[in-house]
Amino acid sequence: MNKEDLVNMIAAKTRMTKKDTSQILDALTETIMETLATGDKVVLVGFGTFEPRDRKERKGMNPQTGQTITIPATTVPAFSAGKAFKDKVKLNKLDQE
């Protein structure tokens, strides 16, 4: 599913225009990114949690040369699914079997 498909589904469920739905989706994703960039997390109860996670510096290997390199520490965005989300996916998987 791409963004256009998602906008179409949300618009159909909410009876909102596709334009309004797209603006809300853009605002939602932008707000989540801005919040994580400040070091805070976003919790959507039942859906999941978006949070920044720190990765430590580590050793790696250049696949072209085989030379050992140091990969610097960084902060990455992470998502942890909530219980309701996990249960929905699990039930759907069981229904398909």
Using one digit for the tens of pLDDT, what is the confidence trace for 56-88? 999 999 999 999 999 999 999 999 999 999 999
Q: How many domains does the chain have?
A: 1
CATH of the domain at 87: 4.10.520.10
pLDDT tier for residue 48 given thresholds of 50, 70 and 90: very high
pTM, 2 dp:
0.80
The yes-or-no verdict on residue 97 having pLDDT over 90 is: no
pLDDT of residue 44: 96
The yes-or-no verdict on residue 95 having pLDDT over 90 is: no
* Domain containing residue 88: 3-96
Alpha-carbon distance values, 16 to 7, 19, 28, 29, 97 (Å): 10, 8, 16, 18, 35
